[in-house]
Structure 1
Amino acid sequence: MSRTDAQKKELKKLRNVDRAIADLRRGLPVVIIAGSEASVVLATEMAFAGELKELENLGGTPPVLALTAHRANVLHIKPTGDPAVRLKIEAWMDAPLMRALADATHDLDQPFRGPFTRLKGDLPEAIPAAIKLAKLARLLPSVLSTDLAANVAIELAKSADYSTVTLADISAFEATAAVHLKSVAAAHVPLQSAENTVFHAFRPEDGGIEHLAILVGDPNRHEPVLARLHSECFTGDLIGSLKCDCGEQLRGALKAISDAGGGVLLYLAQEGRGIGLINKLRAYKLQSQGFDTIDANERLGFDADERVFQPAAEMFLQLGFKKVRLMTNNPEKVDGLERHGIEVVERVTHKFPSNTHNELYLATKRKRSGHYL
């Protein structure tokens, strides 16, 4: 197989996953192939009575509701040791209730729910993959699923125009997209704190949101560069939210890099530690009910931090940097870069005073996430 054919094959896999992500956001079924078996899944958040009926009429096994282990624990469902739990859909569980079971912001509205019937036996491989797709779609990490033989599901997908994707494609999606980042635009953009600044935009080949590299000055590629990884934060960066320290970190990093004579800030499309803006707002609502930032994410069914740092490593490499002096208080960023070939020669402290709105948030990062604050 020629290199061009290999690239086309990889891009087709990316395209299949990207279409599946988009279809989940539209409330459409997606077929996940797992060897000789397959699952047809719907994102629970997007499932209404009509969508649920469509799933029931496919002729597969009775549909089940799948939740992450984090979310199941909140609902007092006994753990299985698997990353997800399947529940039997009882007669009293209509579509609105199942959407509420997936969304922790409704827990106080409907505190007495159940009992639930947890399904036993081996967890089908397609379930964690489907939940991963929901996360990539920035939806709540829960799906409704029915199982079919793979050959039947493939024919169904052709006749009904359902997206079809394999376990391997989902598993490799983020890493493949990161490796195939392309520089698509660059422009000089003078900033208040750093006038000699060039913005470089990097687009993943899956067509996802671009990441930005903000290059200040002309740092030497043969020496460790002063650098900052900054996950986008609409509320903190743009409109001055006091619930986090993101805006201060962003502007403070650019000033520090400029004062040092140059460096690079990567502005990553990873809102809300990778869960997306809407889910971050949901987490904020839970925080207003007394949960800390980690508990809020986990009550929604997410991990405490869903970010991956391979795109950042790839951007550094394309810009010509292999060693960095990283401005961070987060040990996970150091580990994440080093796992993908970037040497962090120094961790540079980067913190700002708390306020009455974010002091619990910062304390949680220090006590529970090991941040150096």
Structure 2
Amino acid sequence: MDSMVLEYASADHATPPDHAAQRAVDRALSDLRRGEVLVVTADAGRALLVMAAEAVTTQALNHLAQLSGAAPSLVITGQRGRALGLGVPVDGPVRVSPPAGLTADLVRDLTDPTRPARAGKVAGAAAIDGAAEGAATILAKIAGLLPAAIVASLPGGRGPVDAGAFARRHDLLTVRAADIVDYRRRSAQSLARVAEAAVPLEDAERTRIIAFRPTDGGPEHLAIVIGDPAPGQPVLARLHSECFTGDLLGSLRCDCGPQLRGAIKEIAEAGQGIVLYLAQEGRGIGLMNKLRAYRLQDGGLDTVDANNVLGFDADERVYLPAAGMLRQLGFAQVRLLTNNPDKMEQLSRWGVEVVERVPHIFPANGHNEAYLRTKAEKSGHLF
């Protein structure tokens, strides 16, 4: 099970939203994307200063070192550590603390495989079991950044540190590691219908679009409801993750555009059903990182290996939001248009029964044969 799915593994569908926790993480995401320093706290009073590796500058490294009184370290995922040949056969966080210290160029070389420069063998790398470090990489993932962070201990040696007082003194945001790990589950469980309108489509004139938004104000997901599916009955449904390049631009690198339009047409021909359009671009890694993955694929990697080399799981998507949307629309059973067994497994895990898998296959176009073959051979897609 991939790391982003693990954070959902103990989800209780009745868990009430923790607005303070969600708000803290939401603000942390904004600060991280701006290159600000955060304080991430874990159990037993442990806390770390954290900033996004993607935002690294020499000035930022010096600022972090001054705040801490110690040299910063780099935290990357186990996938990225293996890609760098650091000898860390784990999926958890890897802390890199070179004896000569970090530089902005070294951080970029270690975290971004699309750079022309390549880091050589780096000393001082070790797999760690750190909640704060792991939460830092998860926060970077949620923010749509490369999954890496620069971290430093709070000053005060190994004794307990009043992280809250330190953060207030330096005007830093504090966020709990547990809240970061739980963020996407709570966000998915807080989805609410916010808008609805009739939107006649080229292949499905009797269509309504219903927008769902989480209470944290995060990305909206859409339900494209075709015809009048009867609540309480198994509904023909497609879970479609947004793909800017395929859905909007007609990219030939993937099969997303044909899958989306084909699902709408097939459901319209059947008379009724739902397409859930989910805000999880690039298998959950975000558009910027998907473009990086494309660059790596142009260099010879397949889609799975490209994600791993960037430091991600092969597929970071989660379908708890989809299950919640279906239940709000009145459906607990689906006939699922899919070739992906993971969608069926996750829907079942979140309380929606897949009574039938309806194959959803489209021919290759001359540009995506390798992509489709990789989905079958490495991701278990059924063709």
TM-score range, shorter chain: over 0.9
Segments of structure 1 that go 5 or more residues without pairing to the other structure are: 1-5
**1:207 deviation in Å?**
0.9
The answer to whether the 8 Å contact 2:86/2:121 transfers is no
Distance 2:303 2:119 in 1: 24
Counterpart AA for 1:140: L
Q: Which whole-Å deviations, capped at 9, do the CAs of 1:189-238 have from their partners, x for residues lacking one?
A: 00000001000000011111100000001011122000000000000000
Match of 1:12 in 2: 20
Match of 1:38 in 2: 47
Identity of aligned residues (%): 51
Counterpart AA for 1:110: A
**Bigger mean CA deviation after superposition, 68-77 or 53-62:** 53-62
Match of 1:49 in 2: 58
Shift of the 150–184 alpha-carbon distance from structure 1 to 2, 3 Å rule, reads: farther
Distance 2:189 2:90 in 1: 32
Q: Which whole-Å deviations, capped at 9, do the CAs of 1:266-313 have from their partners, x for residues lacking one?
A: 000000000000000000000000000000000000000001110000
Among 368, 371, 376, which residue is 1:361 paired with? Answer: 371
Match of 1:132 in 2: 138
Shift of the 326–133 alpha-carbon distance from structure 1 to 2, 3 Å rule, reads: same
SS of equivalent to 1:72:
helix
Q: Which whole-Å deviations, capped at 9, do the CAs of 1:129-172 have from their partners, x for residues lacking one?
A: 11000000000001111122664322221122222111221121
Match of 1:3 in 2: none
Match of 1:29 in 2: 37
Match of 2:263 in 1: 253
Counterpart AA for 2:111: A
**Matching of residue 152 in structure 1 with residue 162 in structure 2:** yes
**Matching of residue 351 in structure 1 with residue 357 in structure 2:** no
Distance 1:175 1:55 in 2: 31
Shift of the 150–174 alpha-carbon distance from structure 1 to 2, 3 Å rule, reads: farther
The answer to whether the 8 Å contact 1:65/1:89 transfers is no
Segments of structure 2 that go 5 or more residues without pairing to the other structure are: 1-13
**1:114-133, aligned counterparts within 5 Å?**
114-119=121-126, 122-133=128-139
Counterpart AA for 1:295: D
Counterpart AA for 2:141: K
TM-score (norm. length: structure 2): 0.92
SS of equivalent to 2:231:
coil
Among 174, 177, 187, which residue is 1:177 paired with? Answer: 187
**1:253 deviation in Å?**
0.1
Q: Which whole-Å deviations, capped at 9, do the CAs of 1:63-95 have from their partners, x for residues lacking one?
A: 111111111111110115351111114436411
Counterpart AA for 1:271: E
TM-score (norm. length: structure 1): 0.94
SS of equivalent to 2:18:
helix
Distance 2:101 2:163 in 1: 28
Match of 2:93 in 1: 84
Among 70, 79, 96, which residue is 1:70 paired with? Answer: 79
The answer to whether the 8 Å contact 2:332/2:352 transfers is yes
The answer to whether the 8 Å contact 2:109/2:118 transfers is no
**Would you say how many aligned residue pairs link Structure 1 and Structure 2?**
365
**Matching of residue 198 in structure 1 with residue 205 in structure 2:** no
Q: Which whole-Å deviations, capped at 9, do the CAs of 1:66-125 have from their partners, x for residues lacking one?
A: 11111111111011535111111443641122122101112xx224523322247x5321
Distance 2:366 2:162 in 1: 58
SS of equivalent to 1:58:
helix
Match of 1:292 in 2: 302
Shift of the 152–222 alpha-carbon distance from structure 1 to 2, 3 Å rule, reads: closer
SS of equivalent to 2:146:
coil
The answer to whether the 8 Å contact 2:225/2:273 transfers is yes
Shift of the 91–213 alpha-carbon distance from structure 1 to 2, 3 Å rule, reads: same
Match of 2:4 in 1: none
Match of 1:266 in 2: 276
The answer to whether the 8 Å contact 1:327/1:350 transfers is yes
**Matching of residue 141 in structure 1 with residue 147 in structure 2:** yes
RMSD (Å), alpha carbons: 1.7
